[in-house]
């Protein structure tokens, strides 16, 4: 299980901390956070979600119920630019916190399609979108 291989919850705390260190200075992503004065909640939720997804404790599910990631992110504009900026910071966090190339690849194989899945804007002008 990846959760155990990377060192458990401590790894996910480091990963999320590293990720958010990029987000707070990102002019595209930072405005999407409604409570910029307190990131503890956002960090906590992402840490628990990722730990659970990768085989750790079910604390996220116990606290929040089913992840419903797409629904939970729907209030925020997530287009191609936001997706790409999110991936830049997550890829840097992965690169910084993991030295094993196979584990990096395994993490990114999840993060890339997950970021695309959360996109709720195609980036196309409304007149070009299919009905």
pLDDT in tens, 39-59: 998 999 999 999 999 999 999
Q: What is the pLDDT of residue 124?
A: 58
Q: Could you read off the pLDDT of 86-130 as tens digits, one per residue?
A: 999 999 999 999 999 999 999 999 999 999 988 888 665 555 445
Q: What CA dihedral angle connects 45, 59, 56 and 48, to 10 degrees?
A: 10
Total domains in the chain come to 1
CATH number of residue 74's parent domain: 1.10.490.10
In a domain? residue 19: yes
Nearest to residue 50, comparing CAs of 86, 16, 7, 26? 16
**What angle, rounded to 10 degrees, do the helices at 80-97 and 101-117 form?**
160
In a domain? residue 6: yes
In a domain? residue 83: yes
In a domain? residue 41: yes
Query: How far from each other are the two terminal CA atoms of the chain, in whole angstroms?
Result: 42
Q: What is the pLDDT of residue 13?
A: 98
Q: What is the pLDDT of residue 68?
A: 67
Q: What is the pLDDT of residue 71?
A: 57
Q: What is the pLDDT of residue 23?
A: 95
Query: Could you tell me the residue range of the domain that residue 94 belongs to?
Result: 2-122
């Amino acid at each position: 299980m990846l959760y155990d291989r990377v060192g458990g919850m401590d790894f996910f705390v480091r990963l999320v901390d590293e990720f958010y260190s990029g987000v707070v200075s990102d002019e595209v992503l930072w405005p999407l956070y409604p409570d910029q004065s307190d990131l503890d909640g956002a960090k906590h939720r992402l840490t628990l979600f990722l730990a659970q997804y990768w085989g750790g404790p079910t604390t996220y599910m116990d606290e929040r119920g089913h992840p419903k990631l797409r629904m939970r992110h729907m209030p925020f504009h997530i287009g191609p630019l936001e997706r790409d900026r999110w991936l830049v910071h997550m890829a840097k966090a992965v690169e910084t916190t993991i030295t094993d190339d196979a584990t990096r690849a395994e993490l990114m194989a999840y993060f890339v399609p997950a970021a695309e899945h959360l996109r709720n804007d195609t980036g196309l002008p409304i007149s070009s979108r299919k009905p």
